[in-house]
């Protein structure tokens, strides 16, 4: 392990490109990790963090780029190959078997055995030693993993990584499931590991944590590295947020047409609360208006949107559409009143991927095309086609499965669904997530067109410039509260970030 002595990089990824159908998930990413350091990987949802660590774990093969490990260029063809090299990944959803004991989990897949017979005693002893090294001698190796707390499970995952003689441990949002005291303990364990020369890649979007634990930080945005190996001590939190959310590409936003006068208030949200997510959220959206919610991940912005839609049940407050109060926690009531949602996770929440474009478009308005229960398929096709064409879904033709479309065109299909339904309120959660940069302007123009037609639009986005460019009015959300409300034209990105920070770090 000469690299340890010379201080050269343990891992060096250069120009990594990963293309999924319709989207470049990684578009030239660089990452350098030294032995014994904590290297933070920072980025918004959809920036490409997960894809990058999957490449590193051998779960995805990069289309371009090189991976150099301990001075030697390597290919990681599968997760086992990565593990053999000493790269261990602890995923957000811990991959432990609840029904097995701690020791059995630690040595799962490489059991301590003799001629095929498991040697439980050896495994238990080895596990005890690993847990001791992690400072958790209190966890019994014979304990059933399902009975451990989230923090305990994380320790077991780390013990498993160490049992493979890991020299690099990737931790994906390890603090997401932990409370304050447990996070401190996690940090202590991480420091012990790095003191032994193990490198840690730490993924989080909690900036305070990164400030506490990380030595250097690499920032991803839109599948690219916008900053590589910045020393954390010399970088301000504001700078990190700017890198994470800042404008990296000039988007073309549609012109706001001043001649369009706003209509009556359509959507009213009054005192909406959900414990632990957001508190006392009140706002109004008028016909023809686009209201943007800006805030960091975890600020409660997506939760607010889903609660307005009835997909989550509010503990307090009411939502009214056209003066009519919605039943709490009822999506059907919302849809019935003319509310539509383009969800954050388009593929898993929004689309029937194997079914045709036409069927996806007509999904929310089947009743329109039904006569005593029978779908009039001619009318359905015609209407779907008309909306697909008006939104310029490409390639043309409504018979192909939605799966084969690019991210941008899939989003258009979701929009077409609500257009066909003739909705009064449109809720858009991350409308350009997974959408090619080129196609974004098109989506923006579409959203503006919908508003000009009298729809009340609410947009949530991680990208502050997107919210500012698209919306007429902006609500800044921090820690589940609205900390600012005002016209989009009167506020700039820095001011938004300051507001977000005030609510967050101060």
Partner 1 sequence: MSEQTTPAPAAPPPDEQRRVEAAAVETAEVTGSQFARIMDSSVGRNLGLVIALVILIVVGGVTAGDRFLSVDNMLTILRLASVIGVVSIGMTFVITGGGIDLSVGAIVALASVWATTLATQTMAEDTHWIVMVLVAFAVGGGCGLVNGLLIAYGRIAPFIVTLAMLASARGLAEIISDRKTQIVSNRDFVQFFGDSVLGVPVLVIIFALVAIGGWVLLNRTTFGRRTLAVGGNAEAARLAGIDVRRHTAMLYVLLGLACGLAAVMLMARTTTGTSTHGGLYELQSIAAVVIGGTLLSGGRGTIVGTVFGVLIFNTLTNVFTLNNKNSSTQAVATGVIIVVAVLLQQRVGRSRGST
Residues of this chain that interact with partner 1 (CB under 8 A) are 20-21, 60, 309, 311, 331-332, 334-336, 341, 343, 345, 347-355, 359, 362-364, 366-367, 370, 373-375, 377, 403-404, 417
For partner 1, the closer of residues 80 and 352 by Cβ is 352
For partner 1, the closer of residues 66 and 355 by Cβ is 355
SS3 334: helix
For partner 1, the closer of residues 14 and 353 by Cβ is 353
> Radius of gyration over alpha carbons of the chain, in Å?
25
**Nearest distance in Å: CB 174, partner 1:** 21
CA distance 52 to 60: 9
Cα distances from 203 to residues 50, 54, 95, 175, 418, in angstroms, run 9, 13, 17, 9, 36
CA distance 243 to 43: 9
CA distance 312 to 331: 9
Helices (H), 253-328: 301-308
CA distance 279 to 141: 42
Do 226 and 220 touch, CB atoms closer than 8 A? yes
**Nearest distance in Å: CB 352, partner 1:** 4
For partner 1, the closer of residues 29 and 193 by Cβ is 29
For partner 1, the closer of residues 21 and 116 by Cβ is 21
Task: Give residue for tokens 């012109």.
Answer: 255
Q: How far is CA 176 from the centre of its chain?
A: 13
Do 158 and 90 touch, CB atoms closer than 8 A? yes
Cα distances from 211 to residues 244, 295, 497, in angstroms, run 15, 20, 17
**Nearest distance in Å: CB 494, partner 1:** 35
CA distance 239 to 498: 11
Residue of 322, 324, 323, 317 lying closest to 282 (CA atoms): 317
**Nearest distance in Å: CB 353, partner 1:** 7
For partner 1, the closer of residues 73 and 355 by Cβ is 355
For partner 1, the closer of residues 237 and 368 by Cβ is 368
**Nearest distance in Å: CB 334, partner 1:** 8
Helices (H), 134-260: 150-163, 180-195, 207-213, 237-245
**Nearest distance in Å: CB 325, partner 1:** 18
CA distance 212 to 311: 36
Do 206 and 175 touch, CB atoms closer than 8 A? yes
H or E stretch at 481: strand 481-487
**Nearest distance in Å: CB 19, partner 1:** 11
For partner 1, the closer of residues 177 and 375 by Cβ is 375
**Nearest distance in Å: CB 399, partner 1:** 12
**Nearest distance in Å: CB 335, partner 1:** 3
For partner 1, the closer of residues 107 and 309 by Cβ is 309
């Amino acid at each position: 392990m000469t690299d340890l002595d010379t201080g050269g990089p343990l891992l060096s990824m250069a120009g990594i490109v990963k293309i999924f159908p319709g989207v470049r998930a990684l578009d030239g990413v660089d990452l350098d990790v030294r032995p014994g350091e904590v290297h933070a990987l920072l980025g918004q949802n959809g920036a490409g963090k997960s894809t990058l660590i999957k490449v590193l774990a051998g779960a995805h093969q990069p289309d371009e780029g090189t991976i150099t490990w301990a001075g030697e260029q390597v290919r990681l063809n599968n997760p086992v190959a990565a593990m053999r090299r000493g790269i261990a990944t602890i995923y957000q959803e811990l991959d432990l078997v609840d029904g097995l004991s701690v020791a059995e989990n630690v040595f799962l897949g490489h059991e301590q055995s003799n001629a095929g017979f498991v040697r439980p005693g050896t495994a238990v002893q080895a596990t005890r030693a690993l847990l001791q090294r992690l400072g958790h001698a209190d966890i019994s190796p014979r304990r059933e993993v399902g009975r451990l707390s989230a923090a305990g499970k994380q320790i077991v995952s780390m013990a498993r990584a160490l049992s493979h003689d890991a020299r690099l441990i990737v931790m994906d949002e390890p603090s997401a499931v932990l409370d304050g005291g447990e996070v401190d303990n996690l940090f202590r364990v991480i420091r012990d590991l790095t003191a032994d020369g193990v490198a840690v890649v730490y993924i989080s979007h909690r900036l305070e944590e990164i400030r506490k634990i990380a030595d250097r930080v690499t920032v991803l945005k839109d599948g690219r590295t916008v900053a590589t190996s910045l020393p954390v001590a010399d970088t301000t939190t504001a700078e990190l947020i700017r890198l994470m959310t800042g404008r990296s590409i000039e988007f073309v936003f549609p012109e706001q047409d001043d001649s369009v006068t706003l209509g009556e208030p359509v959507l009213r949200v009054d005192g909406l609360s959900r414990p632990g997510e957001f508190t006392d959220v009140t706002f109004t959206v008028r016909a023809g208006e686009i209201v943007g919610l800006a805030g960091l991940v975890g600020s409660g912005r997506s939760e607010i949107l889903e609660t307005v839609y009835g997909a989550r049940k509010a503990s307090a407050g009411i939502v009214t559409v056209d003066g009519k109060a919605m039943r709490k926690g009822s999506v059907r009531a919302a849809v019935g009143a003319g509310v539509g949602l383009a969800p954050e996770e388009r593929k898993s929440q929004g689309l029937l991927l194997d079914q045709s474009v036409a069927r996806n478009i007509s999904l929310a308005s089947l009743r329109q095309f039904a006569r005593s229960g029978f779908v009039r398929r001619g009318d359905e096709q015609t209407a779907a086609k008309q909306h697909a064409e008006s939104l310029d879904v490409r390639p043309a033709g409504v018979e192909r499965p939605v799966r084969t479309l690019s991210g941008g065109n899939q989003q258009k299909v979701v929009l077409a669904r609500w257009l066909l339904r003739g909705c009064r309120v449109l809720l858009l959660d991350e409308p350009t997530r997974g959408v090619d940069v080129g196609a974004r302007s098109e989506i923006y123009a579409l959203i503006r067109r919908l508003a000009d037609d009298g729809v009340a639009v609410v947009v949530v986005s991680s990208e502050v410039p997107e919210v500012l460019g698209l919306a007429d009015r902006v609500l800044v959300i921090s820690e589940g509260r609205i900390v600012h409300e005002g016209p989009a034209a009167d506020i700039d990105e820095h001011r938004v970030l300051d507001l977000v920070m005030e609510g967050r770090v101060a």
